[in-house]
Amino acid sequence: MLPIDLQHLPNSEELPCSDDTPVDNEDQNLLPNILLFLLNTIWGERQDWYFGVDMGIYHTTGKSPRVPVIPDGFLSLGVERRKPSRKGRGRLSYVLWEENNIPPILTLELVSHSYGGEYDEKMEIYTKLGVLYYVIYNPEFWRRDGHQPFEVYKLIEGEYRLQIGEPYWMPEVGLGIGRVQTTFGNLPQEQLAWFDQRGDRFLTEAEQERQRAEIAQQQANIAQEQADRERQRAEQLAARLRELGENPDSFL
């Protein structure tokens, strides 16, 4: 490794935000963004986290501080939720020496047709960075790569160890992560999702609204059924009174 001049590191304005390499399937952009949108609901009041999607992470543990690692998604805690750049557009990239050297606590890689070193090169980089949790989602090519479709690795004593259980609870993050069968744009799809400690999935705002509407409809149905039963009882009582020669209207 070449020596790095730590006194003259480039700032975020001088560094590209990504490698400009296009993704080779839509899920590489969609699924991390769904996790981000969910966090905006789950942690809407918190200001001490940041979730980046397809954004360069610049660090000093590689060959050059100008060469980033670019996960499909990453989560950092203990940083500003929005850190304005001098151009006023928020973060252009995640530059460790501008983030108090706080590495992401979680990185996410989605394996696609073009293998990107998720199980070796990137794992080594994240180990050096000190990323606590490394999630690899490989729904299509896991047999090709000799792995499972969904894997969570935890950095323990300087090496990543495969964890068991799904959804997998991460106490240091305060969230669990796992897969779920749901719909997106009225199409069935497997997605990644956040879970609470009990293993219950956090719903999107649209799902919450749909759930509220379903509950309201169920309550309306119950109220209507109860009203129907009361009307039927009243009609039966009136019919019985007529059989006895009484006028039910006289009891009103």
Does residue 1 fall inside a structural domain? no
Domain that holds residue 82: 6-202
Whether 6 has a pLDDT exceeding 60, the answer reads no
Tokens of 111: 């394996």
Whether 135 and 194 share a structural domain: yes
pLDDT in tens, 129-142: 999 999 999 999 99
CATH number for the domain harbouring residue 47: 3.90.1570
Strand partners, 160: 155
Paired sense of beta strands 175-184 and 187-195, if any: antiparallel
138 and 14 fall within a common domain:
yes
Q: Do 125 and 240 have their domain in common?
A: no
Assess whether pLDDT exceeds 70 at residue 236. yes
Q: What is the mean pLDDT of residues 16-37?
A: 72
Whether residue 202 is predicted with pLDDT greater than 90 in this model: the reply is: yes
Can you tell me the distance from the alpha carbon of 72 to that of 64, in angstroms, rounded to the nearest whole number? 21
Shared-domain flag, residues 247 and 180: no
pLDDT grade for 2, boundaries at 50, 70 and 90: very low
pLDDT digits over 84-123, tens only?
A: 766 667 888 999 999 999 999 999 999 988 778 999 999 9
**Quick one: pLDDT at residue 226?**
78
Model pLDDT for residues 148-189, shown as the tens digit of each residue: 999 999 999 999 999 999 999 999 999 999 999 987 777 788
Q: Is residue 160 part of a domain?
A: yes
CA distance 203 to 42: 9
For the cut 50, the answer to whether the pLDDT of residue 26 exceeds it is: yes
Q: Tens digit of pLDDT for each residue in 54-81?
A: 999 999 998 889 999 999 999 999 999 9
Q: Flag whether the pTM goes above 0.85.
A: no
Q: Verify that 159 and 36 share a domain, yes or no.
A: yes
Q: What is the DSSP string of 91-128?
A: -SSEEGGGTTT---SEEEEE--SS--STTTHHHHHHHH
Residues 95 and 214 in one domain: no
Residue 221 has pLDDT above 80, yes or no: no
Please say if the pLDDT value at position 46 is more than 60.
yes
Average pLDDT taken over every residue of the chain: 85
Judge if 88 and 150 occupy the same domain.
yes
Q: How far apart are CA 88 and CA 13, in angstroms?
A: 11
State how many domains the chain has: 2
Identify whether residues 173 and 223 lie together within a single domain: no
Considering only CA atoms, which of 37, 35, 189 is closest in space to residue 107?
35
Q: Is the pLDDT of residue 238 over 70?
A: yes
